[in-house]
C-alpha cells in the first residue's frame, strides 16, 4: 500500500544517528513555493527556496513564502542552499531566508545565481555563492552533491544527486526531455543511468505534467508558429511570456529579425533578466534589433515587437495595464497580442479578463488555446516512465505539483516496478526518514502560509484575508452608539453607515429601535457589562436582521461609547 500523509500524523521522533530526514516545506499540493530540507547528523541542506503567487481568494497579498519556522531555530546548521534553476517558484524566497542569515552558501548554475544575485541586490543582500556545472561534485558537511544537466524552460537547470550516510536521493528540480532544445543542452540520461547503477534510494521527481500522457512537445516547434504570426501581422505585435523564459524570448527575437521588426522589452523583470541572459551568453541578440521602450513611437507600427511581462494576469504587470488602458503602450485596432505561456492553476480568471480586455480594444489575441504558441517545461508521463526505468529507484516521492499530479506520478512509479509500499505521497510538512534503503513517513511538522503584503512579512493571517474577502464580497456596516450607564439610556445614535451593501442607509431605520431596546435592557439588567459585551449584542442584532432582511453577511463593526 502506498504511504500517504494522512491527517493526524504525530510529531516525528528524534532523528537517529546516520538516518537522512527529508521535510518538504513547500511545493506539494501546489504549484510553487518549492523547498525541501534534508537533515543528517545535525546538519541541514536546503534544495530550492521559492515563492507561490496568490490567488483571488488572497486579496492584497504579493507573494506567499515557505514557512521557515521548522528551520528558524537551526539556521546556523544549514550548510548550503542548492538552487536547481532560476524560476521564481524555486528562488523567489531566497532573500527572505537570507534575512535570517545572510552568509548561507547559495549553490547553483551560472545563470541561476546571476538571477538570484540581481534579486538580492534589490534587498541589499550580498550573498556567498558557489557556481557549479553538470558533472561537478561538491561536499557540503555530511552531504555530497553531484549535479546533473536537465532541460527545462529556462537554461542551465540542474538536478542534484545527494549522497549521505543514510542513503542517496536524486532531486530533479523541474525538467523535461526535449531532444532538440534550442541551446543543445538535453537532460543527461546517460548520467541518470550511471546514478541508477550506483543506486538511487529515493527519487524526488517533478510531477507537474505527470497526468499528461506521452511526451512534451519540443520548444523549437514554437518557431514556425511565431514566424507565421509575425508574417501575417500588419501592426504592432505584443508577446507576453514569463520574464525568465530565455528560449521563448530567443525565438521572438529571431522571428522579429526575420520580419524586419525591432524589439522592446516591457516590464522591469523582463528587462533585467534578458540583460543578464544576454551578458552571460544565454540569449543571442541580433545586432541593432533592440530599442528602448521610450523610442517605439518613432517607429512604424508594422516594425515593432513588444516583449512583455504579465502573461499570468498579474494586475500590476505590463500586459494587465495595457488591457486596462493604464500603460504608455496603447493597444489598438489590428494589433496582435500573443500569450506565449501556459496558465498556472488559479490564474485562469485573471488571464481571461486580460484577453477580454484586449479583444475589446480591437486586438487579435493569440493564445495556447487557438495556436501552438507555448509548450510546457515539464516532463509528461512518458518521460517520467523513462526516468523510472533508467534509474530503478528503491523509493519514490513525487514533488512539485498539485495532489492530482503527485498521485499520477505515484502511479507511474508503481507501473515501473517501484514497490507500492515504497511510494510516498507526502504533504508540505510531512517528515520522511531514509535508512537502509527504506524511506518511511514518520510524522508531520506544522507548516503554514507566510504572506508578503507590501513591506510586511508574515504579519497577515488567514483571518485577515477572510476579513478582506468579506469586505470585498459582502460590504461593511458600522454602528456607533453612545450610552449613559447611570440610567441605561442611549443618548446618541445608533448611527449606521453601510458601504458595499447596495442599500441606502435609511433601510436600517427599522432596526434602530431594536438596538436601543437591547442595549438599555442589557445595561439595566447588569451594569457590569463591558463595552465589548455590549458591542457583541449590537453585532448579533444587526447581523441577524441583515441576514434575514437583505440576505447578506457583511462585516459588522459596532462601537459603543459611554457618555
Burial environment of residue 525 by CB neighbours within 10 A (0 to 12, 13 to 18, 19 or more): exposed
Residue with cell 508540505: 428
With CA atoms as reference, report the closest residue to 435 among 399, 397, 395, 467. Answer: 395
- Of the residues 378, 427, 433, 529, only one is catalytic, namely 378
123 annotated as ligand-binding: no
214 annotated as ligand-binding: no
Specify the length of the chain in residues: 563
- Of the residues 48, 67, 201, 206, only one is catalytic, namely 206
191 annotated as ligand-binding: no
CA dihedral over 113, 114, 120, 125, signed as positive or negative:
positive
131 annotated as ligand-binding: no
Burial environment of residue 2 by CB neighbours within 10 A (0 to 12, 13 to 18, 19 or more): middle
- Alpha-carbon distance 28 to 157, whole Å? 20
90 annotated as ligand-binding: yes
User: Are β-strands 262-266 and 304-308 bridged in parallel, bridged antiparallel, or unpaired?
Assistant: parallel
Count of C-beta atoms within a 10 Å radius of residue 11: 10
**Residue 366, strand partner residues:** 338
243 annotated as ligand-binding: yes
Query: What are the b/e assignments for 433-461, b being 16+ CB within 10 Å?
Result: bbbeeebebbbbbebebbbbbeeeebebe
**Residue 438, strand partner residues:** 435
69 annotated as ligand-binding: no
CA dihedral over 249, 269, 377, 138, signed as positive or negative:
positive
With CA atoms as reference, report the closest residue to 467 among 546, 541, 553. Answer: 553
314, 343 in Cβ contact below 8 A? no
SS3 of the chain: helix, strand, coil, percent, to 5: 35, 25, 40
With CA atoms as reference, report the closest residue to 435 among 72, 13, 107, 82. Answer: 13
Residue with cell 517605439: 296
DSSP-H helix ranges across 417-448: none
Query: Which three cell numbers mark 409?
Result: 506520478
Burial environment of residue 333 by CB neighbours within 10 A (0 to 12, 13 to 18, 19 or more): exposed
User: Are β-strands 262-266 and 430-435 bridged in parallel, bridged antiparallel, or unpaired?
Assistant: unpaired
- Alpha-carbon distance 231 to 510, whole Å? 68
Q: Is 206 a catalytic site residue?
A: yes
Secondary structure of 11-56 in HEC code, one letter for each residue: CCCCCCCCCEEEEEEECECECCCCEEEEEECCEEEEECCCCECCCC
201 annotated as ligand-binding: no
Residue with cell 543528517: 40
- Alpha-carbon distance 481 to 226, whole Å? 65
375 annotated as ligand-binding: yes
330 annotated as ligand-binding: no
- Alpha-carbon distance 457 to 471, whole Å? 22
Q: Is 532 a catalytic site residue?
A: no
CA atoms within 13 A on the CB side of 334: 7
With CA atoms as reference, report the closest residue to 520 among 545, 499, 498, 490. Answer: 490
Active site residues: 206, 378
Residues at the binding site for Zn(2+) are 85, 87, 89-90, 152, 174, 400
Residues at the binding site for Ca(2+) are 60, 62, 453
Residues at the binding site for substrate are 243-245, 374-378
Residues at the binding site are 60, 62, 85, 87, 89-90, 152, 174, 243-245, 374-378, 400, 453
Amino acid at each position: 500500500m502506498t504511504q500517504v500523509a494522512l491527517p493526524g500524523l504525530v510529531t516525528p521522533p528524534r532523528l537517529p544517528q546516520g538516518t537522512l530526514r527529508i521535510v518538504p516545506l513547500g511545493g506539494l499540493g501546489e504549484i510553487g513555493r518549492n523547498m525541501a530540507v534534508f537533515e543528517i547528523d545535525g546538519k541541514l541542506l536546503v534544495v530550492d527556496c521559492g515563492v507561490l503567487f496568490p490567488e483571488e481568494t488572497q486579496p492584497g497579498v504579493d507573494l506567499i513564502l515557505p514557512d521557515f519556522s521548522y528551520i528558524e531555530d537551526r539556521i546556523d546548521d544549514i550548510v548550503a542552499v542548492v538552487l536547481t534553476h532560476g524560476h521564481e517558484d524555486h528562488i523567489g524566497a531566497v532573500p527572505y531566508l537570507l534575512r535570517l542569515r545572510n552568509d548561507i552558501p547559495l549553490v547553483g548554475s551560472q545563470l541561476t545565481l546571476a538571477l538570484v544575485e540581481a534579486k538580492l541586490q534589490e534587498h541589499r543582500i550580498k550573498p556567498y555563492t558557489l557556481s557549479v556545472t553538470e558533472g561537478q561534485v561538491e561536499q557540503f558537511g555530511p552531504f555530497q552533491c553531484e549535479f546533473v544537466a536537465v532541460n527545462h524552460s529556462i537554461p542551465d537547470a540542474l538536478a542534484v544527486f545527494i549522497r549521505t550516510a543514510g542513503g542517496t536521493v536524486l532531486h530533479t528540480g523541474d525538467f523535461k526531455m526535449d531532444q532538440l532544445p534550442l541551446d543543445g543542452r538535453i537532460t543527461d540520461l546517460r548520467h541518470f543511468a550511471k546514478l541508477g547503477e550506483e543506486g538511487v534510494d529515493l527519487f524526488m521527481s517533478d510531477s507537474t505534467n505527470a497526468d499528461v500522457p506521452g511526451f512534451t512537445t519540443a520548444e523549437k516547434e514554437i518557431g514556425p508558429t511565431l514566424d507565421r504570426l509575425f508574417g501575417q501581422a500588419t501592426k504592432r505585435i505584443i508577446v507576453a511570456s514569463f520574464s525568465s523564459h530565455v528560449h521563448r524570448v530567443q525565438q521572438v527575437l529571431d522571428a522579429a529579425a526575420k520580419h524586419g521588426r525591432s524589439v522592446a522589452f516591457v516590464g522591469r523583470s523582463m528587462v533585467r533578466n534578458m540583460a543578464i541572459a544576454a551578458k552571460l551568453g544565454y540569449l543571442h541578440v541580433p545586432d541593432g534589433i533592440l530599442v528602448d521602450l521610450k523610442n517605439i513611437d518613432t517607429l512604424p507600427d508594422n516594425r515593432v515587437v513588444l516583449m512583455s511581462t504579465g502573461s499570468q494576469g498579474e494586475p500590476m504587470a505590463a500586459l494587465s495595464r495595457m488591457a486596462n488602458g493604464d500603460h504608455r503602450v496603447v493597444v489598438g485596432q489590428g494589433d496582435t497580442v500573443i500569450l506565449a505561456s501556459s496558465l498556472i492553476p488559479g490564474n485562469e480568471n485573471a488571464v481571461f479578463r486580460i484577453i477580454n480586455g484586449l479583444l475589446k480594444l480591437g486586438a487579435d489575441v493569440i493564445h495556447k488555446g487557438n495556436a501552438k504558441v507555448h509548450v510546457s517545461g515539464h516532463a509528461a508521463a512518458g518521460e517520467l516512465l523513462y526516468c523510472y526505468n533508467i534509474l530503478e529507484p528503491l523509493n519514490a516521492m513525487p514533488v512539485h505539483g498539485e495532489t492530482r499530479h503527485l498521485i499520477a506520478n505515484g502511479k507511474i512509479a508503481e507501473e515501473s516496478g517501484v514497490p507500492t509500499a515504497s511510494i510516498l505521497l507526502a504533504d508540505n510538512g510531512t517528515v520522511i526518514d531514509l535508512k537502509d534503503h527504506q524511506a518511511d513517513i514518520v510524522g508531520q511538522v506544522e507548516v503554514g502560509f507566510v504572506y508578503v503584503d507590501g513591506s510586511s512579512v508574515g504579519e497577515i493571517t488567514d483571518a485577515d484575508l477572510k476579513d478582506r474577502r468579506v469586505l470585498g464580497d459582502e460590504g461593511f456596516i458600522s454602528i456607533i452608539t453612545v450610552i449613559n450607564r447611570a440610567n441605561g439610556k442611549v443618548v446618541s445614535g445608533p448611527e449606521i453607515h453601510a458601504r458595499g451593501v447596495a442599500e441606502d442607509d435609511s433601510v436600517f431605520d427599522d432596526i434602530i429601535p431594536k438596538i436601543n431596546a437591547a442595549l438599555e435592557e442589557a445595561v439595566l439588567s447588569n451594569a457590569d457589562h463591558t463595552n465589548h459585551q455590549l458591542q457583541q449584542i449590537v453585532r448579533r442584532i444587526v447581523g441577524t436582521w441583515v441576514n434575514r432582511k437583505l440576505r447578506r453577511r457583511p462585516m459588522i463593526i459596532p462601537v459603543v461609547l459611554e457618555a
